[in-house]
Amino acid sequence: MAAFGERVDGNLALMEPGQTIEQLADLIAADLPSLAARLRPDMLLVQGDTTSAWAAALSASRIGLAVGHVEAGLRSHDLTRPFPEERNRVEIDAISALLFAPTAESAANLAAEPAIRGRVVVTGNTGIDALLTIRRMINGWTLHDNAVRTILVTCHRRENIGAGIAAICAALQRIARRPDVRIILPMHPNPAVHGAIAQALGSTPRIELHPPFDYPTMVQMMDGAHLILSDSGGLQEEAPALGVPLLVLRDNSERPEVFASGNARLVGTDADRIVAATFELLDDPAAHAAMSQPAFPYGRGDASERILDAIEDWHATQWPGSVAERAISYRLPPIQA
């Protein structure tokens, strides 16, 4: 948040090392109602598909607080992959009053689900707002030249922990044998991810393991990379907007728009398939160029404005009358002109 000149007004400070998602959900359910009672908000906004978003939305629903879901309608149509994110998305959307779908396809997913009762608005995604804002702040630069191309890698999905990460690391070891590549891998703080990657790749030449980057640094890394390999959901939206080819290290995706745009390929976690796709994009300039045209399936940076407009429209229907009348009905002191 510091990169945007913002600060956190309140932090429940519930995250702890080694914490299970069930433990986190229980803590949120216990603490959020008292926070809501103190702040008395008209709506709780949650973004994405995390355990914290899911638990907060359920807690808000239980106390009668309206929920707005940013990034609604994304679906892999498989509740086990990604887990628990797909379940989280479905359940958050079912209890949301406002559903901010990033694309028309996301909105169509919601229209097909009988459980959806809220208002659906296609807005684009705020991740692109953030990406383009930071990109304008930093100077253009490159991490590669004609002799050495940089490959940015991220890996953290829960379903890849274990055999998936082992296969990805095996593929990276083979890719790193090439003298014309440099692999940069910021490691997720999850010990199960961090430990496995450090053990497998810690001494491999041409592979650089880093602590997690701050957001401006990550944008620079993405923007300057020749190629990205990732199992991240966010990078599936960001890489097309930057015009950087992306190989998705997952077996399915809730973001089909990136494959339709031609900016990404789904390669899974099979080491041979990862290596073959990477070598093709390193050795075939035409194949690389075909995936390098910027595309904006998730908006061009105005999702925040669209979301704000939708909230204002919703609020007007919930609170008819003047500002002063709304304040009185909400049991607040009248607002002075």
- Across the range 99-116, mean pLDDT stands at 97
Residues 213 and 238 in one domain: yes
- Across the range 190-205, mean pLDDT stands at 87
* Distance (Å, whole) CA 59 – CA 37: 12
Q: How far, in whole angstroms, is CA 106 from its chain's centroid? A: 15
Element at 325 (helix H, strand E):
helix 323-329
* Distance (Å, whole) CA 46 – CA 231: 22
pLDDT category at 320 given cuts 50, 70, 90 is: low
Question: Both tokens of residue 160?
Answer: 């890849």
Residue 326 has pLDDT above 50, yes or no: no
Residues 153 and 275 in one domain: yes
- Across the range 294-302, mean pLDDT stands at 95
Quote the pTM value. Answer: 0.87
71 is catalytic: yes
User: CB of 209 within 8 A of CB of 127?
Assistant: no
238 is catalytic: no
Within-domain flag for 99: yes
Active-site residue, from 85, 86, 251, 254: 85
Within-domain flag for 296: no
Residue 322 has pLDDT above 70, yes or no: no
Residues 106 and 173 in one domain: no
Active-site residue, from 149, 156, 157, 182: 156
Residues 201 and 257 in one domain: yes
Cα-based distances in Å from 239 to 22, 219, 229, 301, 316: 32, 10, 10, 14, 37
pLDDT in tens, 1-59: 888 999 988 888 898 877 888 999 999 999 999 999 999 999 999 999 999 999 999 99
77 is catalytic: no
Active-site residue, from 69, 71, 129, 250: 71
237 is catalytic: no
Residue 114 has pLDDT above 60, yes or no: yes
Within-domain flag for 323: yes
> How many domains, the chain?
2
Within the chain, strands assigned E span: 43-47, 66-70, 98-101, 119-122, 149-154, 181-186, 207-210, 227-230, 246-248, 264-266
pLDDT in tens, 138-179: 865 555 556 899 999 999 877 777 788 999 999 999 999 999
Domain residues for 173? 142-290
188 is catalytic: yes
Active-site residue, from 49, 86, 223, 254: 49
Residues 97 and 29 in one domain: yes
CATH number of residue 31's parent domain: 3.40.50.2000
Question: Both tokens of residue 174?
Answer: 């083979």
Active-site residue, from 149, 188, 250, 255: 188
Residues 188 and 251 in one domain: yes
Residues 153 and 256 in one domain: yes
86 is catalytic: no
Place of tokens 């909400």: 330
Active-site residue, from 81, 119, 144, 158: 158
Cα-based distances in Å from 44 to 57, 63, 118, 183, 226: 7, 11, 14, 40, 39
Phi-psi group of 294: left, alpha or beta (phi > 0 → left; psi -120 to 50 → alpha; rest → beta): beta
Residues 168 and 226 in one domain: yes
